[in-house]
Chain A
Amino acid sequence: MSAIVLMLVGLGGLALGFIFYSKFIAEKIYQLDPDFRTPAHEFEDGVDYVPTNKFVLWGHHFTSVAGAAPIVGPAVAVIWGWGPAFVWVILGTIFFAGVHDFGAIWASARNKAKSMGSLTGDVVSARARSIFMIVIFLVLLMVNAVFAVVIAGLLTTYPSAVLPVWGIILVALLIGQLIYRQKMNLVAVSIFGVVALYALIFIGPSVPLEMPAEVGFLSGTATWIIILFAYAFIASMLPVWVLLQPRDYINGIQLFIGLGVMYLAVLLLNPSMVAPMVNESVPEGTPSMIPLLFVTIACGAISGFHGLVSSGTTSKQLNKETDARFVGYFGAVGEGTLALAAIIAATAGFATLAEWESLYASFGAGGVGAFVEGGAYIISGGLGLSQEVSATLLAVMACLFAGTTMDTGVRLQRYIFQEWGQIYGIDWMKKNIPATVLAVAACMLLAFGAGGPDGDGGMLIWPLFGTTNQLLAGLTLLVITVMLVRLGRPMLFTLVPLVFLLVMTISALLVQLVDFYNDGAWFLLFLDVVVLVAAILVALECTSTLMRLRRESKTQES
C-alpha cells in the first residue's frame, strides 16, 4: 500500500474531525459564547493575562505540547504493525485529545484561568487535588528520565548529530543576546537562527563527535545522560530570556519545517508501507497489544500533559472564548499530524521487510531509531539529500524536541520541590540550587535505576510514562465531565474517553506488573506499584464523584 494513501486518509480524518466534531463540541457541549469576557480581558495585567491573537496563541500552544513524545510513542508502537497505531492516533486525536485539550482550555477560562491542579480541588475535591499533584510529579519524573535516555541513545548512534545539537545551544545564547541587548529585528534573527541550525546539520556528518564507548567506569551512553542532566541543571537555573526563550523559538520554527519536509518527501517519493498492517509475528517478549498500545502512544492520541499547558498558560491569554476551539482542538490535530508522520517514517521508510524486522527485534528496540532511519530513507529518496544529512536532520529534530521538554520539565520539577519546601516549612528546599539538585537527582535515579548503570535500558519505563500521562488526562476529563453535568449538558463525550482511558491504563499496569515480576525487575515493579496505586485512587475518585453527582441531580429532581 502506498504511504500517500495512508497520509491522505489520516490527514483527511483529522480535518473532518476538526471541521465537524469540534464544531459540534463547541456549539452543543461546551457552548462557547463569543461575548463571554475571558480572563485575559477580565484580569488583563500585561504580565500573565494578555489577550493574544488566536494564531499566535495556537503556535505557542502547539509548540509547547508537541515534543519528542508523539514521535517516540508511535515509533515504538508500530511493532504491532502500522494499522493499530494509525487507528489509535487518528481516532484518539479526533475523539479524545481534541476534546480533552479544548475542554481543558474551556474549563480553565470559565474558572478565572485557574490551573488544572487547583481546578481539580475546586470542582472535584481536595483529595483529588492531592492525587493530581502526585501524578504530575510522576509524569515529570518519567518524562525527564526517559528523554535523557532518548537523547543519549541518539547521540551515541548518530555522532553526526552531536555538533548540531550542542551548537544550537550556543546559537540560542547568541540570539538571546542579540534580541535583548542589541534589539535586533526578529525576522532577521529568525533567518539567522534557522540558517545556523541547518548549516550545523549539513556540517554535522563531516564532523562526527563520537563519545568513547567507555569513559572511566561509565559507558558512553551513561556519560551522555550525566552530561545532559548537568546541562538541564544549568539551563533551568538561567533566566528564561538567556536560553530557554530563544531555544524554544528556534525549535518551534524547526517543528514546522520538519513536518513540512517529512510530508513533502512522502509526496515526492511515494514509498509503500513495508511493515505489515498487523504484525502477526511480533518478537518474543512483546506484551499484548491491548492494552499496551493505548499507553505506548499517549502524546499523539491523548496526553494529560496538554491539560497543564492549556490551563496554566493558554487559558490566560485567550482573547475570545470561541478561539478555544481553534487553539485547543487544532493544537491536538497538529500533534496528531506529527504522530502520523512518525508512523509513516517508522514503517514505510525501509527497502525490505527484513530490514524493518531487524530494527524491531524486541519491544522498545525500534523506537526513535527506526523513526530516524525510516525518515532519512524517505527524505533522501524524496528530496535528494544524502542519507547521512537526512538522518542527522531527524536525529537533531528529535534531540531538540526532547531537550526543550527536559529544560522545562526540570524547571517545573524544581517548582514542585520548592512548593513542598513551603508547605512543610523546610527552608533549604525553598532555595533554587538545592531544589534543582533534588529534581535532577530524582530524575537521574530513575534513568539509571530503570536501565542499569549503562543507562541504555531506560526505554523500559516508556509505557509507565504513558500510563501516568493518561492518568493526568483522566483527571482533566473528570473535571470537564463534572462541570458539564452541573451545567446539565450531556457528559457522554468526555465520560466515554475517561472510562476507556482508566480501563486501559489499569489493565496495562497489571499486565506490566506481572511482566516485571517474572523478569525480576524490582525497581520497575516498585514504580509500577506506585503508579498503580495512583491509578486506583484516580478511578475511585472518579466513581465517587460521579455517584455524588447522580445523588445531587436526583435530589434536585425531587
Chain B
Amino acid sequence: MPLDRQTIAEWLRKATYVAEEVYSAPYRSAIARAKRDEEDLFMLMVFSEMMGVPNPASYYTLELQPLLLERFHDWHRRMGMEHSPLDHFKCC
C-alpha cells in the first residue's frame, strides 16, 4: 500500500484520538467535578441578589439569566432545593 499524505494524516488523527482518550479517561470524573463546582459558584454569583445575598455582580449579569435557565434547574437541585427557590424564576 503506498503511503500517501492522507493515510499518514489519518493515522495521526487516530493516534491523537487514542492518546486523548488514554490521557483523559482516568481523570475525567475528577476534572468534570471540579469544573462543576466552579460553575456552581458562578451560578451563586449570578443569582445571589434574588435570594437576598447582596452582590453587585447580579446587576451586571442580569442579561445572562435567561441563558442559564436550564442549568439553573440542575443547579438548584444539586444545592438541595427540590423546586426553584425564586417566585419569579420558575423552572419546574
Using a CB–CB cutoff of 8 Å, the interface residues on chain A facing chain B are 46-48, 50, 52-53, 55-57, 59-60, 63-64, 179, 185-187, 190, 239-241, 244-245, 248-249, 252, 313, 316-317
Q: Which of B15, B18, B23, B34 contacts A179 (CB 8 A)?
A: B23
**Measured CA separation A185–B17 after assembly (Å):** 10
**Nearest chain A CB to B18 CB, angstrom units:** 7
Is the C-beta of B29 less than 8 angstroms from some C-beta in chain A? yes
- Contact flag A50-B19 (CB < 8 Å), given A187-B12, A239-B34: no
A190 in complex: contacting residue of B19, B27, B28, CB < 8 Å: B19
Instruction: Let me know if A240 and B18 touch, CB within 8 A.
Output: no
**Which residues of chain B from 29 to 61 have a CB within 8 Å of any chain A CB?**
29-34, 36
Query: Within 8 Å CB of B22, what residues of A?
Result: 56, 59-60, 249, 252
By a CB distance below 8 angstroms, the chain A residues around B31 are 239-241, 245
**Interface residue count on the B side (C-beta < 8 Å):** 20
CB of A244 within 8 A of CB of B15, answer no
A60 to B32, CA, bound (A): 18
Given contacts A47-B32, A241-B31, contact A64 B26 (CB under 8 A): yes
A249, B25: Cβ atoms under 8 Å? no
Of the candidates B12, B16, B20, B26, the one whose C-beta lies within 8 Å of that of A60 is B26
Known contacts: A185-B16, A239-B34. The answer to whether A50 contacts B28 by CB under 8 A is yes
By a CB distance below 8 angstroms, the chain A residues around B28 are 46-47, 50
Q: How far is the CA of A48 from the CA of B18 in the complex (A)?
A: 19
Is there a chain A Cβ closer than 8 Å to B82's Cβ? no
Q: Are A46 and B25 in contact (CB under 8 A)?
A: no
A52: contacting residue among B12, B16, B25, CB under 8 A: B25
A47 near B19 with CB under 8 A, answer no
The distance in angstroms between the C-alpha atoms of A317 and B25, with both chains bound, is 9
CB-contact partner of A187 in B19, B21, B36, under 8 A: B19
Are A52 and B15 touching (Cβ within 8 A)?
no
The 8 A-B pairs with the shortest beta carbon distances in the complex, nearest first, are A186-B19, A47-B32, A48-B29, A56-B21, A245-B27, A240-B30, A60-B26, A47-B29
Measured between beta carbons, the chain B residues less than 8 angstroms from A249 are: 22-23
Q: A46-B32, A187-B15 are in contact. Are A244 and B27 (CB under 8 A)?
A: yes
**What is the bound-complex CA distance between A63 and B12, given in angstroms?**
23
B9 to A: closest C-beta gap in Å: 12
Q: Give chain B residues whose Cβ lies under 8 Å from the Cβ of A56.
A: 18, 21-22, 25
Report the minimal beta-carbon distance from B26 to chain A, rounded to whole angstroms.
5
Contacts of B12 in A (CB 8 A): 187
Q: Cβ of B27: which chain A residues have Cβ within 8 Å of it?
A: 240-241, 244-245, 248
Q: Smallest distance from the beta carbon of B28 to chain A beta carbons, Å?
A: 6
29 contacts between A and B (CB under 8 A): A46-B32, A47-B28, A47-B29, A47-B32, A47-B33, A48-B29, A52-B25, A56-B21, A56-B22, A56-B25, A60-B22, A60-B25, A63-B26, A185-B16, A186-B16, A186-B20, A187-B19, A239-B31, A239-B34, A240-B31, A241-B27, A241-B31, A245-B26, A245-B31, A248-B26, A248-B27, A249-B22, A252-B22, A316-B29
Q: Determine the distance from Cα of A430 to Cα of B83 in the docked complex, in whole angstroms.
A: 29
- Assembly CA distance A60 to B26 (angstroms): 6
CB distance from B33 to the nearest CB of A (A): 6
Known A48-B29, A50-B25; further 7 A-B contacts with Cβ < 8 A? A46-B28, A56-B21, A56-B22, A239-B31, A239-B34, A245-B26, A313-B26
- Could you tell me if B16 and A187 are in contact, using CB atoms closer than 8 angstroms? yes
| Max chain A Cβ within 10 angstroms of own Cβ: one of B16, B18, B25, B33 | B25
**Cα(A241)–Cα(B31), bound, Å:** 7
Residue of A at shortest CB range from B34?
Answer: A239
CA distance in complex: A67, B20 (Å):
22
User: A249 CA to B27 CA in the complex, in Å?
Assistant: 11
**Which residues of A have CB within 8 Å of B34?**
239-240
Q: Which residue of B lies closest to A55 (CB)?
A: B18
Cα separation A63 to B49 with both chains bound (whole Å): 48
Q: Are B23 and A245 in contact (CB under 8 A)?
A: yes
CA distance A200 to B19 in the complex (A): 23
* Residue among B15, B22, B30, B34 with the highest chain A CB neighbour number at 10 A: B22
**What's the least CB distance linking B37 to chain A, in Å?**
11
- What's the nearest-Cβ distance from chain A to residue B6, in Å? 17
A187-B19, A190-B19 are contacts. A57–B29 as well, Cβ < 8 Å? no
Distance, CA A47 to CA B22, complexed state (A): 15
B36 nearest in chain A by CB position: A47
Determine the residue in chain A with the shortest Cβ distance to B15. A187
Please measure, in the bound complex, the distance between the C-alpha atom of A50 and the C-alpha atom of B31, giving whole angstroms: 14
A317, B21: Cα distance in complex, Å: 12
Which residue on A lies nearest to B19, using beta carbons? A186
- List chain A residues, Cβ under 8 A from B19: 186-187, 190
Does B21 lie within 8 Å of A53, measured CB to CB? yes
Contacts of B33 in A (CB 8 A): 47
Distance in angstroms between the alpha carbons of A187 and B26 in the assembled complex? 18
Return chain A residues, CB-CB under 8 Å to B29. 47-48, 313, 316
Cβ contacts under 8 Å, A240 to chain B = 27, 30-31, 34
- Who on chain B is nearest to A246 by CB? B23
A313 to B26, CA, bound (A): 8
Cα A248 to Cα B30 with chains together (Å): 14
B23 nearest CB across to chain A (Å): 5
Whole-angstrom CA separation of A50 from B25 in the bound complex = 9
Docked complex Cα distance between A363 and B85 (Å): 67
Q: Is B25's CB under 8 angstroms from A186's CB?
A: no
**Minimal beta-carbon separation of B25 from chain A (angstroms):** 5
Minimum Cβ distance to chain A for residue B77 (Å): 14
Residues in A whose Cβ lies below 8 Å from that of B32: 46-47
